[in-house]
Structure 1
Amino acid sequence: MGTPARLSYQDMLNPLFLHPSDNANSIQVEKLQGSSDYRSWSRSMEINLASKRKLGFVNGTVTKPTDDNTKAEMWEACNNMVIALITGNVSPTVRQSIMFMTNAFEMWKNLEKRFMLTNGSRKYKLCKDLYEVRQHTASVNEYYTTMKILWEELDSMNLLPPILCLTDEIKTFLSKVELQKEEARLFQFLNGLNEAYGPQRSQLLMITPLPTVEQVVAVIQQEEAQRSLLSAITPDVELSALYSKSPQSPSPQYVNKPVTCTACNVKGHTREKCWTVIGFPKWHPKYRASLNLS
């Protein structure tokens, strides 16, 4: 009895090769519900299928061989595996509508025709969502993540044609375009922030050049963490203040007044939080100048 032939690396690169671990559950993504999540679902599936070298079965580049029965059988096995992967990652309703299709490519195209909105409609929906998104009760990180998802999908639909000759003038132009896009994102993020962060927003907009969205998110998250810590301490402070003040004549120190910094005379923060006193963040343009002065 002869020993079985060893698989070579080239064999495993073949899209008709099925690894022993490949099965209907080897790809798990959020199940497709309909038009609202089709783009993210299809992108996730494409990434997973490409990692298994099976993307060609849904984009039509790997067709069934007609001159080799063995390869045709291998193609059928892989085609059925891809069908199983697709039907295993859609909702029960969608699965029922494609269950009896026998070609992975046709199944993929069917889903695309049904659920892929036209670019104009989808762009309108994304831009509308972007204009309307607000922080409300979400954390800063959750609010930023929501906006980032919308930005990235819009970017994927607004790809510029490739530039074959990259001159210095074109590089400068592209950097300016990128800067304008970053500024637009910064303004969108700050616009949707809760009004409680108004003082921080004013301070950040006075910086030249403007910080990136990521830098602003980091600053606002620090402020959020500080407020969360203080809110845990506040009830004890308020309780002691309640016992210490007279009911006939409430102490003026507990009357709400607009806070003004005694260091820079800007409203919205105290001297203890003023950058001119505690130091500027490392990304701030005045950070190096303050180091030189010291």
Structure 2
Amino acid sequence: MADQSPNTSSQSTTDHGSSPNLTLFLVVGNHPGMALTSVHLTDSNYLSWSINIETTLMAKSKVGCIDETLVKLPEGTPEFNQWRACDAMIRSWLRNSISANLQEGFVYVNSTRELWLRAKEKFGQANGVLIYQLKAQIGDLKQGSDMLTTYYTKLEKLVDELRIIEPGAKCKCDKCRHEIDKVLARIYERDYLVQFLTGLNKIYQPIKNQILMMDPLPTVNKAFAMLLQVEKQNTHIVPVDLKAFNVVY
């Protein structure tokens, strides 16, 4: 009769009754000298840096080490050494993703989670201050000497950052019939479009007028595509065939 006992070499469990946590495994090629992102932490870019770090760790199935969904395992458990090695590796990656002049402040942290929280405490601005700064920058942004794509990319980055720290309001009604979320999203998109058009140089005035007379208004991405077509003509502003953009009057 065949032995029906579990194959302990391929199917082990922890004291918590779970299978080995794949998050703890390090693959060939992982080493402490790696950096998680080319965007290094400075005293002024915490938001974009933290988003890059989270995205990279999600791709590596290691984000649990910073959001504490992967808790420190008790010493003496079968997976403790594996957890310690994994945490030390990610801690090294995080330090390597910090500007050289700031790294000394993170040498003596004892865990990835502690490093993450210290970076947030030191360089993550209060939401009120950051919202004020972003809205001021968005309001002041003008195309000036920038190409259209450069100007739009600058605005897009600021608006995306604002959306992260100031998400739109949500209706909490069960099976809401008011469609408040959709209404607010349309208002947000309209304001974004108006801000984009406001910052454009005067040479775009004819096509700006065309866009503003459309009903419904296009999304800001469609408006950008229309204006980009004009810029590529590289001579003078002429009316654009709006039918090419599937715009309904």
TM norm structure 1 = 0.72
Are positions 1:202 and 2:209 aligned together?
A: yes
TM-superposed CA distance for 1:77, in Å, is 0.4
Which of these residues, 96, 107, 110, is aligned with residue 88 of structure 1?
A: 96
Q: Which residue of 2 aligns with 1:103?
A: 111
Structure 1, unmatched stretches of 5+, are 232-268, 287-294
Partners of 2:35 and 2:94 within 8 A in 1: no
Which structure's relative contact order is higher, taking Cα pairs within 8 Å and 6+ residues apart?
Answer: 2
Q: Which amino acid aligns with 1:104?
A: T
State the secondary structure of the residue aligned to 1:92.
Answer: coil
Q: Which runs of 4+ in 1 moved over 6 A?
A: none
TM-superposed CA distance for 1:82, in Å, is 1.0
Higher helix proportion (structure 1 or 2): 1
Which of these residues, 58, 61, 68, is aligned with residue 53 of structure 1?
A: 61
1:190 and 1:122, CA in 2 relative to 1: closer, same or farther beyond 3 A? same
TM-superposed CA distance for 1:67, in Å, is 5.3
Tell me the distance in 2 between the aligned counterparts of 1:283 and 1:119. Answer: 39
Which of these residues, 69, 74, 86, is aligned with residue 66 of structure 1?
A: 74
Larger radius of gyration: 1
Structure 2, unmatched stretches of 5+, are 1-8, 13-17
Partners of 1:27 and 1:85 within 8 A in 2: yes
Are positions 1:222 and 2:229 aligned together?
A: yes
Are positions 1:181 and 2:162 aligned together?
A: no
Q: Which amino acid aligns with 2:224?
A: V
State the secondary structure of the residue aligned to 1:81.
Answer: helix
Are positions 1:213 and 2:220 aligned together?
A: yes
Tell me the distance in 1 between the aligned counterparts of 2:186 and 2:102. Answer: 42
TM norm structure 2 = 0.84
Tell me the distance in 1 between the aligned counterparts of 2:96 and 2:156. Answer: 28
Q: Which amino acid aligns with 2:247?
A: H
Are positions 1:168 and 2:148 aligned together?
A: no
Partners of 1:79 and 1:104 within 8 A in 2: yes
Q: Which region of structure 1 is more displaced relative to structure 2, 128-137 or 59-68?
A: 59-68
1:79 and 1:201, CA in 2 relative to 1: closer, same or farther beyond 3 A? same
> Which residues of 2 match residues 1-294 of structure 1 at below 5 A?
5=9, 13-24=21-32, 25=34, 27-34=36-43, 36-66=44-74, 68-159=76-167, 160-161=169-170, 163=172, 165-169=174-178, 171=179, 173-227=180-234, 230=235, 273-274=238-239, 280-286=243-249
Tell me the distance in 1 between the aligned counterparts of 2:37 and 2:247. Answer: 43
TM-superposed CA distance for 1:104, in Å, is 1.3
